[in-house]
Amino acid sequence: MSVTGAAAFRAGVAQLQAAGIADPARDVRLLLAHAMGISADKVMLALHDPLPDAVAAALEACLSARANRQPVSQITGQRQFWGRDFIVTPDVLDPRPETETLIAAALDQPFTRLLDLGTGSGAILLTLLAERPAATGLGADLSPDALVVAAANAEALGLAHRAQVIQSDWWAAITGRFDLIVSNPPYIALDEMAGLAPDVRDHEPHMALTDGADGLSAYRAIAAGALAHLAPGGRLMVEIGPIQGAAVASFFVAAGFCDVVVLPDFDGRDRVVSARAPV
C-alpha cells in the first residue's frame, strides 16, 4: 500500500538521523524533491498526496546512499552555486558556499580574459563568465573526468561558446596571458585527510582535496608561473584554507606580486588571497 509523502518524509528523517546525518530534514527534502522530479521548494505542498511506488523506490535508494554518507549533490547530480545549477558527479568537488567569497572578490573589478586553474565542475569559471557577458575563459584541470563535467556545465549554462576547457598539470599546457587568474586548488594537508567527515573523505576525489603533502604545494606551483601568464596589472586570486593566508601571501610577494591581501569569508575566516601583477 502506498504511503503519503509526509509519512515517507518522517521515515526518511528517522533513517538519516539514525545514520548520524547532521541535518536530516534538509537532506530528506532535497532527496524527496529529486525522487519526485520537482523543485525542493514544492516538496511541502506535495506531502499530503500518496507517493507513487516508483517515487517511493527512488527515495529509498537515495536515502540508503545518503545513509552511506554519499553527498546529497552526488545523489541528486546537482548543486546550486551563485544562483545557478551545476552538474555534480563523484569526479568533481562539490562546489562549496565558501567559494562564493572568491567569486565576490573577482567580480569586484573588470576582466575580459579569465583562467581558472583546477576548474573541477567549472563552478568558478562558469559563474564568472555568466556574470560578465563580454568575458571569455579557459578552465584547466589535471583530471580528464572533471573536464567532462565542466564541459557539460558550460553547455547546460549556455556558456560553451565563451568557455574552453583543457587538461593541464597547473601551467604545463597553458599558453597566453590573462587579466584574471583564479584557483581553488586542493589545499588540505595529507595528514589532515583522516580527520575529514566521511561524506567528503570517502566520496569526493582525493586529488580535489589534498596535494598529498603540506596543503601548500599547489600555491607554490601557481605562484611560480602566474606572472608569466598575467597581463600587466592583471589579478591573481586563490581560495585558501583559514590558516594558510600568511604562507600563501608570502609566496605571492616572493614571486614579485604587488597589492597582496588576504580576504575573509562571511564567517570572518581568511578565505582568499588576492594579488596584482606589476604594471
Ligand X SMILES: C[S@@+](CC[C@H](N)C(=O)[O-])C[C@H]1O[C@@H](n2cnc3c(N)ncnc32)[C@H](O)[C@@H]1O
Which residues in this chain contact ligand X in the complex, by CB under 6 A?
Answer: 93, 95, 99, 118-121, 123-124, 140-143, 146, 168-170, 184-186, 207-208
Nearer residue to ligand X within complex by CB, 46 or 189: 189
The count of other CB atoms within 10 Å of the CB of residue 70 is 17
Shortest CB 65 distance to ligand X, Å: 21
Q: Beta partners for 50?
A: 4
In whole angstroms, the minimum distance from the beta carbon of 69 to ligand X comes to 19
**Residue with smaller CB distance to ligand X, 70 or 217:** 217
Minimum distance of ligand X from residue 225's CB (angstroms): 11
**How far is 125 from 129, CA to CA, in rounded Å?**
6
Which phi and psi angles does 103 have, rounded to 5°? -60, -50
What does 110-135 look like in DSSP terms, one character per residue? --SEEEEES-TTSHHHHHHHHH-TT-
C-alpha cell at 95: 562546489
Q: Which is nearer to ligand X, 74 or 99 (CB)?
A: 99
Q: Measured from the CB atom, is 20 or 144 closer to ligand X?
A: 144
Amino acid identity, residue 70?
Q
The Cα–Cα gap between 16 and 109 comes to 44
Q: Smallest distance, Å, CB 114 to ligand X?
A: 12
Compute the least distance from the CB of residue 55 to ligand X, in Å. Answer: 31
Nearer to ligand X, 55 or 183 (CB): 183
| Residues 116-153 as b or e (16 or more Cβ within 10 Å = b) | bbbbbbbbbbbbbbbebeebebbbbbbbeebbebbbbb
Q: Indicate the DSSP class of residue 50.
A: B
